Structure formats: structure tokens, C-alpha cells
Structure 1
């Protein structure tokens, strides 16, 4: 264990539970990675935690955006589209899969899609975002994407929210040698035991072992 001053200490245990949860997935979109990656100060936000939401609120207050692009149309992405539309922003929602709410039946997703249309949200499904950049003036963000017909286009906005799900936070357990399973989560048995003696895992960072 390392404290805030950088000092390390070893703590004995009979059993250890890893509950490191999940972190926002960072999709392979140009502009989100590397030393020049765009972030909250540029009006680009990845959403997962309550702190991420606070940063969005700060951006709304400081920049007073009029338009936004929401990348991802899962539950949180749809909630953001609703909230921003209610605040009077113009919203474009982009989803890589064929329909919004891809974790439910397509028929239900189509109903939600129609409701978004009814409230003025531009919904682009089957569309893969490839890059987020600033326009030459530096005042507007630009999202480059490829639609279902393979045509590339660019949309501009004052604010971009990236809401494409989460991934298990397993760096600590993986470094210790724990076996990882589906989607890189920590593999556990029916008693939540990992492959490490005396170490258990639970929550978003863990996944049941596949049957042999």
C-alpha cells in the first residue's frame, strides 16, 4: 500500500477483496488519445462517474454551449440527450450499432428512437465516429464519422460527450497475476474467488468463469 506521501506499507490479510469497479471506455477515436488529446477544457467529456457529471455542469456554465454531440445511445447517453434538450441545446446523437438502446430489443429501441426524433434530437445510427478535432477557428468542435452507407461526414458542435460504456478496472489484480476472463474482467468462481489464493473480487471488475 502507498499513502499520499509516497510511503509504502505492507498489510497482512487472511482474505482480500478486490472491488475496483469500472472506468469509462476510451474508444479508438482520433483526438481522444495521445499527448494532444482533447478533454473537458476543450468541451470534450467522457462520462462515467459523478465527477464527470460535475465537469459537464461546469462546462455548461462556463462555455454556455448551444449545440452538442452525444456519442453513444445507451442509457446514460439517452439521459444526457434528454437533459441537454430540456436545457435548450441542439443535440445530435450518434450510435455505432443499428439502433439506440442496443442492449434491448430492436422494437423497443425503435420506439425510443422515434421519441428522440419527436423531441428534435438528430439520431444517427449505424454510424462510426473516427475523429474529434477543432475547426480552424478553434471555436467549434468537429466530429468526423462514417455512416451506414460508408459515406464520411463532419458535424460541428460546441460540446461533445462520449458515452460508450465502461471497461473493468483490473490493473491491480492483473499485475498481481490474477486470471482475467471475458472482456478482461477478473475471473471468479461461484464463491467469488479469483485464481490468487485468499483473493476475492466483486462488482464491475469481476466476471464468472466460463463453464469448462
Structure 2
């Protein structure tokens, strides 16, 4: 008799793990059962803001592999089925069919937790009112699109100014709404240093987005019908026909916590390099529900990104399938855009470096994405952090246009290789006037950082 692999969660990590395990082990060797309370599988949550804006025409365009395609590969996929309990001692899970309320125990030999993350909904008055949306799944995206279509007013408020908040603000502008963004941070995109975030703010204001910074939301006012009417802070009230939460996400680990599985400071599950949950040889976890090792700071962090989730799934599926694979960690690379302004970061910002106990030099340079004389050359700002004394690269942030964001990949590779900024100055990067100046902006920043390190103050 073969083994049984049970997976909780049918998106990036869960279905990548299932697919990889199936490639390595046939159905008579390994039965694979996947539970998910949603209606979709293997979709791009990162694409939802672009679906809301209209850049992506249909939800199906965001789906990499349909339920039917997974089932055709002998994967027993049970959608609209929520796992409500894990019995670690007896190696079984309790699942509830959301349509019939039928509850069934299913035993496992291998268990995979791919439960993802949940939009943060602070315990504020009115937070659960009609017209307030958190956007994490395709079902969330559809609910928002339907809500926008049914909303007669045109006032929208986005609470929070992280990546999702900023992307959703742009999407709402594209949908014809007047958008107010409220954040308690000094600048949007708090994963950037404030001087770089100020560049993002300038672009948002240029899109007629009203940006309220340094403001704490105290509640959401509703009408007699229970629908949202305004967002309140300590000092003001902002009219709202629709509210989108862009505060961030937290790991969905309540189920794992109740089962006694270990979680870290940020609430994510703790795993080894092979994505096995600490202390459990038969349980794996990956994606947005786990903590990952920050290779620059040397600390565990919660960094929810689809890139990590897919890699985790491949590693888990390989392990369950009898192979060997590990996930060494991340450097924290992320990119986004506001209209045509591109935003990228990798490694540590100033606050991150200080929390890690690192001393550093920070330099900021202005350059262009192409040779300055070439048509279409646009300004680009690059900020680079280097460790004092050693000159080790610690982090890079880029804000600009004309292909600025993907330049961050050079910095991500340099961080992973633990290069110094002096070593970076010798990198043999591609050059032609339509693509780069003779000195690429990354190299200009590296030269400035290397000089700062050499001066030693």
C-alpha cells in the first residue's frame, strides 16, 4: 500500500508541492489529497490589483493551472473544504465541506501546510462593514470588483500604504474613483527608507491621490444600512463609498498553533532548510505561512512573496517524492510600480540595518536608465547601503522609470554572493545607449559607496 500526502492550501506552495511529488511518485505509490476552502487553484495573487484596474481582463488569466488540470494528474483536489483541526498524535485532519457542512477525518503519512496569509483587519469599529475589502485571494478580488461595479458613489479610501495598498490605490484611480490613502507611516511604502518613499509620494500626488500620512485610523463610520460611509482618524474624517485594506498580511497559522506546531516572532511557522516543520519529520510548510531566513540580517522574517511560495512547493514536493532539496533563505527582493514609476528594493534599509546591529554607510545617486543623450532617457534614484569597515553590500533601493525596477536583480545577486561594494564596481554589466549609460546606475552607486567606506566616516 502506498503513502498518503495531505495538503492544506491549493495555491502556489500547495499545488507546486503536489505537482512535484506527483512527478516523482506515481498514484499507486503516493495518494495526494488537497483541501482548500476557496474556489480556485494555482493563481497569481500578485496580479489581482492589475485585474481590478483592468490591465488583466479576466480572473482566468491569473490562473496557471485549473482544478480540472490538477485532477487529471491524479491529485484529489477538494475545493470549498476547510480543514478545521489537525490531530498530530493520530496523524489526521478534520475537514468541513462548506456546502454540506459534512465533517470528515482524513489520515496522512505526509502533511503539508500551505495556508498562506490573511489581510490584516485591525479591531476597529466598522471594520467588518459592507464595503470594506481585504484583497488576498481571487474570491476577494471578485468581491471587490463586484462591489465597485455596484457602488454609485466615487469616493474610495485605502488604509495602509504598503505594496498592496499603493497598487490598489492606482487600480481604484483607474476605475474612476477619487482616492484617499491613509497611513500612519511618514511616507508610503515603509519598506523603503523615508527619503525614497518621498519619491513615491510625489508620484501618487501626481495621480491625484490624496495621501494622509502620520494618521492612525480610529474607526469606520457606517450608515443605518450598515454600509461604510467614512473613515475616521483622530483629527479628521474622510468620506468613503468603498474601503480597501492595504495594511499588510499576517501568516495564517491559527490551525497550526492549535495543533501545537512551532511559530516564530512574526507568527510564521518555523521550518528547517528542507521546509520540514521543526520537530516533525512528517509535516512540511511553505509559502506565506512560514518565516524565512534573511541572509543579510541573519534573522528570521515573514516575507510573503509568490517567488518564495513556488520554490517552497518545489522543495517540499521533492522531499516527499524521495529527493533532496533545500531553501537557503532570501535577501528580501521586491518590486512594484505606481503608474509609470517603478519601485524596487532588496536587502536592508536603514531601519532594518539598525535593528540588526549593523553600522553602515548610505549613499544616494541620481542617474538615468539610458545614455543621457538617448531619446527617452528618464531619471533614476539609487540608494545603497554598505557595511562600515568591511564594505559588504547591505541593501539597495531604486525609484525611477524606463526599466529601473529590474536593475534590482543585479543587487540581489551581489547580496546573495556577499559581495563588497568595491567588488561590485568591477562587474561587467551590459552597455549600449538604448539600455544603459556607460556607467550603469548600480555601478555609480557602488562607486559612491566604496568611496564612503574608504573614507571610513
TM-score range, shorter chain: 0.7 to 0.9
Instruction: Give the unaligned 5+ runs of structure 2.
Output: 1-93, 294-298, 301-457
- CA 1:175–1:197: 2 relative to 1, 3 Å: farther
**Given the alignment, which residue of 198, 201, 204 partners 2:288?**
204
Match of 2:126 in 1: 31
Match of 2:184 in 1: 96
Deviation at 1:65, TM superposition (A): 2.7
Residue deviations 1:105-127, cap 9 Å, x none? 22221111011111211101111
**Given the alignment, which residue of 165, 183, 200 partners 2:248?**
165
- CA 1:112–1:208: 2 relative to 1, 3 Å: closer
More relative contact order, 1 or 2 (CA 8 Å, 6+ apart)? 1
What is the aligned-residue RMSD (CA, Å)? 2.2
Distance 2:118 2:186 in 1: 25
Classify the secondary structure of the residue corresponding to 2:104: coil
What TM-score results when the alignment is normalised by the length of structure 1? 0.84
What is the aligned length?
Answer: 198
Classify the secondary structure of the residue corresponding to 1:9: strand
Match of 1:114 in 2: 202
**Given the alignment, which residue of 122, 125, 136 partners 1:48?**
136
Deviation at 1:71, TM superposition (A): 0.5
Q: Which has the higher helix share?
A: 2
Residue deviations 1:16-57, cap 9 Å, x none? 22111111111132212xxxx31xxx2211222221121111
Instruction: Give the unaligned 5+ runs of structure 1.
Output: 147-151
- CA 1:201–1:128: 2 relative to 1, 3 Å: same
Q: CA contact under 8 A between 1:189 and 1:208: conserved in structure 2?
A: no
Match of 1:60 in 2: 148
Distance 2:108 2:207 in 1: 57
**Given the alignment, which residue of 126, 130, 143 partners 2:214?**
126
Residue deviations 1:153-203, cap 9 Å, x none? 111121111111111111222122111112111111223221334211111
Classify the secondary structure of the residue corresponding to 1:68: strand
Distance 1:200 1:173 in 2: 11
Distance 2:183 2:255 in 1: 32
Q: CA contact under 8 A between 2:126 and 2:222: conserved in structure 1?
A: no
Q: CA contact under 8 A between 2:131 and 2:227: conserved in structure 1?
A: no
1:65-76 alignment, distance < 5 Å = 65-76=153-164
- CA 1:171–1:112: 2 relative to 1, 3 Å: same
Find the structure with the greater CA-based Rg. 2
Q: CA contact under 8 A between 1:177 and 1:196: conserved in structure 2?
A: no
Deviation at 1:10, TM superposition (A): 3.2
Does residue 2 of the first structure (1) align with residue 95 of the second (2)? yes
Classify the secondary structure of the residue corresponding to 1:2: strand
